[in-house]
Copies of this chain bind each other. A is one copy, B any other.
Amino acid sequence: MAPPLEPDNSVRVWPVRLVIARCQVDYAGRLTAHLPFATRLLIVKADGSVLVHSDDRSYKPLNWMSPPCTLVEGVDRHGEVEWVVEARNGDTLRISIQEIVSDSSYDLGIDPGLQKDGVEKHLQELLAQHPGSLAEGLSLVRREFPTAIGPVDLLCRDIEGASVAVEIKRRGDIEGVEQLTRYLELLNRDPLLSPVRGIFAAQEIRPQARVLAGDRGISCATVDYDALRGMDDPTVRLF
């Protein structure tokens, strides 16, 4: 789908189109699906994708077509307006429109996109740089230490030279403790590493996780993300 041309042939940003319409929808692709007639919100995005939303069940549309795809507006056998949205692989979305309540378009321009911050990965980088903030005298052996069931976030050594496995989460939940438990069990089979103890590190540790960790002999460390970031970049400390 090429962007629309203005009367003077200038290229304009393809707008997002919002349609409120009474419609029925049929999808044929990986599965077959049908939506009976009802009033819905139809969104045609700049990339050609189409979303069919009801007023609940967020955030997934009732039905949709992912880009790249083409939209052809035509008339069905009942003489009603029909949108046929087709993907390269033959997936087809047919929208029969009985009545249009509203139809408007807007240029949104290019979106700078989402900036994710404070994710596990960044926490891991910061803690790898400052393992001492987890326990006195802790030093890093390796980040993403490989095991057969996946990499351990941090493998460290404590002040007495004993191995310490660290699992890092933004929010410490039971599943994170379970994960660390599995790693510890595996690591402790290695006579070169054993005994390995565990530290569960998170910005926030839920009570249930804390209890489970205690039961497993795993220590918990709440991480001050902002403080760590301050240690990471000395210029921040000036303010």
Residues of A within 8 A of B (CB): 14-16, 18, 20, 30-36, 38-41, 43, 45-47, 49-51, 53-64, 66-67, 101-102, 104, 106-119, 170-171
Contacts of A53 in B (CB 8 A): 16, 43, 45
Q: Which of B20, B49, B51, B117 contacts A108 (CB 8 A)?
A: B20
Count copies of this chain in the complex.
2
Most buried by B among A33, A55, A62, A171: A55
Cross-chain contact of A117 among B33, B67, B101, B118 (Cβ < 8 A): B33
Q: Which residues of B contact A31 (CB under 8 A)?
A: 116-119, 170
Chain B residue with the shortest CB-CB distance to A54: B111
- CB-based contact A30/B170 at 8 Å: yes
B64 lies within 8 A of A59 (CB): yes
Distance between Cα atoms of A171 and B43 in the complex (Å): 28
